[in-house]
């Protein structure tokens, strides 16, 4: 496990908790829930840049490279789609969609870590 995984773990879980609590409190998506998902996107962008730097520096992905980059590209699209959803549907249920982003990004980061090492 590397620092990129642990950063996705921390930010993803925090975002999930924030969004779940807002959903359970029957709140519509707000700045806090949307910004928590934006933080997940930011940490995934850092993961992307770090991965590019590692590959350019000569580090090799032990698994299939296309699989790693596919997971990363998909993980980067999830927060964007969820935020778009929450803007269109301003109900409490959108917070549960936002909450799913953190957990999904975490699982995908764990798989990316397995592929890398």
Mean pLDDT of 6-29: 95
Instruction: In whole angstroms, give the CA distance from residue 17 to residue 47.
Output: 22
Structure tokens at 103: 């957990």
In this prediction, residue 2 carries a pLDDT of 83
The candidate with the shortest Cα–Cα distance to 116, out of 10, 1, 11, is 1
pLDDT tens for 22-46 read 999 999 999 999 999 999 999 999 9
Q: CB–CB of 100/3 below 8 Å?
A: no
**Alpha carbons 29 and 7: distance in angstroms, whole number:** 24
Distance CA(39)–CA(43), nearest Å, equals 6
Residue 1, pLDDT > 70, answer no
Q: Which pLDDT value is given to residue 33? A: 96
Q: What is the pLDDT of residues 46-93, one digit of tens each?
A: 999 999 999 999 999 998 999 999 999 999 999 999 999 999 998 989
């Amino acid at each position: 496990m590397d620092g990129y995984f642990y950063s996705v773990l921390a930010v993803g879980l925090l975002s999930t908790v924030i969004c779940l609590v807002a959903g359970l409190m029957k709140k519509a998506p707000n700045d806090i829930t949307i910004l928590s998902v934006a933080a997940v996107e930011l940490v995934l962008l850092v993961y992307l840049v770090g991965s590019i730097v590692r590959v350019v520096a000569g580090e090799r992905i032990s698994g299939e490279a296309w699989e790693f980059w596919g997971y990363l590209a998909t993980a980067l699209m999830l927060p964007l789609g969820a935020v778009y959803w929450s803007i269109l549907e301003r109900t409490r249920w959108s917070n549960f969609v936002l909450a799913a982003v953190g957990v999904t990004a975490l699982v995908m980061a764990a798989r990316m870590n397995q592929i890398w090492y």
